[in-house]
Amino acid sequence: MKLAPVAMTGPNVESTVVVVHDDVTGRSSSVRLVPATDDGKIEIYASLAGMRASFGTENLLVIDYTHPNAVNDNAIFYAENHLPFVMGTTGGDRARLMDDVSSRKAFAVIAPNMGKQIVAMQAGLEYAASKFPGSFAGYGLEVTESHQSTKADTSGTARAVISSLLKLTDDDFDVAEGGGDINMLRDDESSLAFGVSREALGGHAFHTYRLTSSDGSVVFELKHNVEGRTVYAEGTADAVKFLANMVSTGMEGRVFSMIDVLEAGALDKYTNPVGDMTATTRRAATASSGAGLSSASKFDDDVNISPRITTNTVAGCDGKSTLTPLRSRRPIGISPPIISNQNDPRRGGGPLFSLVPSSPRFVSVSYMSLSLAIHLAGYELSRAAVMALFTSDGLGFGHGQGAGEGGGGGLSALPLAVGCVSPFSICLLWFYGNTLERGGPASALRAHTLICAACQIASGCALRVLDERLLRSSPNDDDRFAVHDVADAQFRSRSLLFLLFVFQNAYVQLLYNQHWAFIGSVLTPEEGARAFAPIAGLGSIGSTLAAGLVSSLVRRLGLIGLLHLAGASFVLSALLADIAFGTARGGGFEPRREDGSDDRKYGSVGPPGDISMGGRVNNANAPTSPSSMKSKGRSASRAPAQSCVQCREGGNIFHQARVLFRRVPVLGALFLEVVLSQCLSSLVNFIYLYKLKSMIADDDMRAGWSGTYYAWINGVSGILQFFVIPLLLKHFEAHRIWLFMPTLMLFCTSYTFVTFRSSGLFGASASFFAIKTMEYSLRGAANEMLYVSLDYESRYLGKKVISLIAGKFGKSAMAVALSLLMVVYGEEEDIMRYLVAISILVAASWLLTSMSLHSLIEASRK
């Protein structure tokens, strides 16, 4: 069972974070207490949705040791939200409580005492009272109970025991609400005199029941004293296991008692009462006492209470300033190096080489396709881990130990990291070019894929060491050397995560380019028309499955373990790519570099020619239908055989772009359209991540939620790309897409603005979902249909300028603007609302440029 990161507390309790630290294992976790106010309930419902997405609807259970005044309302909340719960409290209206839960067919264990030995004692007393009523007639009853000062109500255990004793005696002992004749001790001095040790003043339960004969000659005394909360934690674990088993049977929900738990034999044998099994539940109860806490937890068939802590202690989190990492879902485009296939029959106009399963080319393409799919799957795993760790509490840029309130929550650093991806990509391309010159494409792809794998694995190991250093330091440790050690560990981990973020986003699309470059060099245009869609679909399936598995993998491996798995995926991808190159080498069609040759030879068809809009298989560059691929292939065959040297004549690339845009105004309009669309994409991404981090503070849960979220994006994009768009293009002209995309985003951003405070994650996530899905599907169709109608220079130079400059400029400009805003204003909610308003203006500007582009396309068609 994993302690959930969010708990519900009373409306009069200020939102805060409780650190749950286990002295036995040395592990710590943190639970954010959210008051049950109107605003707090929004966060509670959002957190509940996030936990259900991460753990599964059936794998949530609540443990409630709440304030007496909150008992009835909490029980209704659990029942109406289909949350099985274990409640150990005596407050509230008991008759109403049982009726509310029973009438709603909810699963619950409700008991005044969770200590199984105490419950067994009570059962024995009830048996004696039923079999031997009045056997102590004439005896007077005295009861004294002592609890920690934070306990507000009378001991429920005392009331239950007294009810049995009163059946044995005829004493008129009063057990009215508020104590009655019970001698309640709540001050330290009285408790110490009663026998409580000073160490247990903060958590104890001492009870003494005295039956004295009328003449005082006979005294019977029953005493049960508990220091600490281990016995209640053990009983709670038994109740959780019992209730989980009841839920799994599929029976109708009902209310159980601890007697039911005892009779079912759902008791674990604890050989070490202070070991791992009891440590977490003991500390969870400590955090709950007096705080009005109800904590949801994940349970399996075999309930293991040993903690699985993957996050660090949160200090001073206010629920508004902690934010999730920026997921730059699409890598920024880099043009592939120029490679060609010397023996490609396309070059000499020879006969087409049939691509059949038995041919070496089919085998090599198949291996490279698998390599690509596994590479994209590894990227999904790495992205989820890095993005969650980037804004994690402790290791990342969120609220670290001792950070207090008002920290950046990670988003202050994210725009700067995004802005660094472009210059790093340029350096990376230069480094890759040198590697390509020395060893050729096979060696370059192998070396750089293994470099990527090694960085993931090494970073994971380093982060684990730093995480252990942080966990060894108590969050309340005033020792200046310990504080310095924490600060040093956080500086190292944040620096490493910053570099890893930039490295990951730059490397993924470079390697993606090279996979497609190989495939595009081996296949002819006609073969590509048939093979590119299945290959793209295979890659899409790989990334979608990996994203969907993130939640399960995080629960088993943790975020750092996810980095190691991503590294292993890249190693496997490198192995398959090596086999593909080896097969091509044996068949005499291995791609190799040719200086001064036709620049389109390497990846002349399909995705290899342009990665500008994605770094994803189902992006702007993947073909949307065989017909579009055929059109592209035919257009390529008519293009003049210009060399790279000829393409660069006439000045630098910016001068050439200006000349080209004057000659082809459509490209100039497209340039502006891409800049504004990428600005909006970055902005709605930032807003979405702000809401995500503020709603789901736990790193594991956030990574799992995001993995499921991106799996839906990938899946919907794939369906649109390979099924819906080809059908729509038969009935509608492609350039209508340019008007549809910004119009939809204008509606989405307006909805986000109106519902920013009330809709939780829905508004922000819907906007980001819409723009990402369109980038991965609709934009690809629109781009391909536009470029295919242009001349060679427009396709080659125009596409390169728009992909490398427009896309990067849009993202980088917005990253710089957001960085400045975060530095000047911080992450106040009002600032975020202004950003949502700005997103509406950007969407409107995008619509205006799209209308201009649409008009130019219409004019050119006429």
Catalytic positions: 147, 151
CB neighbour list of residue 739: distance below 8 Å, 6 or more residues apart: 847, 850, 851, 854
Dihedral over alpha carbons 344, 347, 353, 355 (to 10 degrees) = 60
| SS3 of the chain: helix, strand, coil, percent, to 5 | 60, 10, 30
752 φ, ψ (degrees, to nearest 5): -60, -40
Per the listing, tokens 């391909």 go with 784
* Separation between Cα atoms, residue 401 and residue 535, nearest integer Å: 47
**Cβ density class 171-188: b for 16+ within 10 Å, e for less:** bebebeeebeebebbeee
Give me the count of residues in the chain. Answer: 862
Nearest to 305 by CA among 1, 3, 22, 85: 1
Residue-by-residue DSSP string for 338-398: --B-TT-TTTTT-------TTSHHHHHHHHHHHHHHHHHHHHHHHHHHHHHHHT-SSSSSS
Residue-by-residue DSSP string for 345-360: TTTTT-------TTSH
- In the DSSP assignment, the letter for residue 621 is T
* Separation between Cα atoms, residue 566 and residue 821, nearest integer Å: 34
Q: What is the 3-state secondary structure (H, E, C) of 665-707?
A: HHHHHHHHHHHHHHHHHHHHHHHHHHHHHHHCCCHHHHHHHHH
Nearest to 641 by CA among 606, 594, 607: 594
HSE-CB at 843 with a 13 A cutoff on CA atoms is: 27
Contact 679, 375 (CB under 8 A): no
Task: For residue 202, give the amino acid letter.
Answer: G
Dihedral over alpha carbons 83, 85, 89, 92 (to 10 degrees) = 30
85, 443, 640 from 658: Cα distances, Å: 67, 38, 22
